[in-house]
Amino acid sequence: MHVIALSSQKGGSGKTTLSGHLAVQAELAGAGPVALIDTDPQGSLAGWWNERRSEAPGFVTTTLAQLPGDLERLRASDCRLVVIDTPPAINMAIQRVINVADLVLIPTRPSPHDLRAIAGTVDMVERAQGAMVFVINAANLQAKITSDAVIALSQHGTVAPVFIQQRIDFASSMIDGRTVMELAPEGRSAKEIRQLWEYVAAQLEKRDRKRVFQQPAPSAFGFGRRASL
């Protein structure tokens, strides 16, 4: 099971919208069962999920204290992916989620305010020795500030090669519990989400391969380590 956290100390970066869209796309791509968790007291993701007609992805109600145990229960129930939305500005809550995540996605609008706000989130990921990817959200591909943002972010970490452009259909889809893939599956927004999920899935697979190679090799004589009493 993989755990993805969408984190940013800046409100309005698009964490909730991307959480719902990536979870739905993961289900559509056959990467489920997928579970959503909303740790934001505002409950925007929970409200969106309650409007959905489809029961996939699933939704898990938990608390920060119960989160590690609930993740283990999800793992035991054969859940394959958990997507966690986090609140803005509440550092303790964000850090506790980041600590249990395999990959942290940091949505960032190409604006000076958003770029200045990433430092705290980056520090928390580094403190947890985790992996992170910046996602340019609400982008205008023709604007110089977008390319400037990519250059600035790349100095701190990996920037996803898929940019989510500013379109009304993203906001509209969150009103009735759907996503752009369900509203307009052939549209450009749906294509961007599919491409972003493919990139994220590839990053998770890369981390899995890295874990396998980092495991200690078994003894050539078949001797195992004595269990501690």
- Domain extents in the chain: 2-204
Residue 217 to residues 35, 54, 153, 221, Cα–Cα distance (Å): 34, 45, 37, 11
Domain 2-204: CATH superfamily, name plus number: P-loop containing nucleotide triphosphate hydrolases (3.40.50.300)
71 burial via Cβ count (<10 Å: 0-12, 13-18, 19+): buried
Lowest mean pLDDT, pick from 117-126, 155-164, 172-181, 210-219: 210-219
Pair 42, 120: CB distance under 8 Å:
no
Could you check whether the bond before residue 33 is cis, i.e. omega within 30 degrees of 0?
yes
Pair 36, 43: CB distance under 8 Å:
no
pLDDT in tens, 27-85: 999 999 999 999 999 999 999 999 999 989 999 999 999 999 999 999 999 999 999 99
Share of the chain above pLDDT 70, in %: 92
pTM to 2 decimal places: 0.89
Q: In the prediction, which pLDDT does 213 show?
A: 61
pLDDT at 212 over 80: no
pLDDT at 227 over 50: no
Query: Residue 20 is encoded by which pair of tokens?
Result: 């719902």
Q: At what angle do helices 112-127 and 91-98 cross, to 10 degrees?
A: 50
pLDDT in tens, 84-102: 999 988 788 999 999 999 9
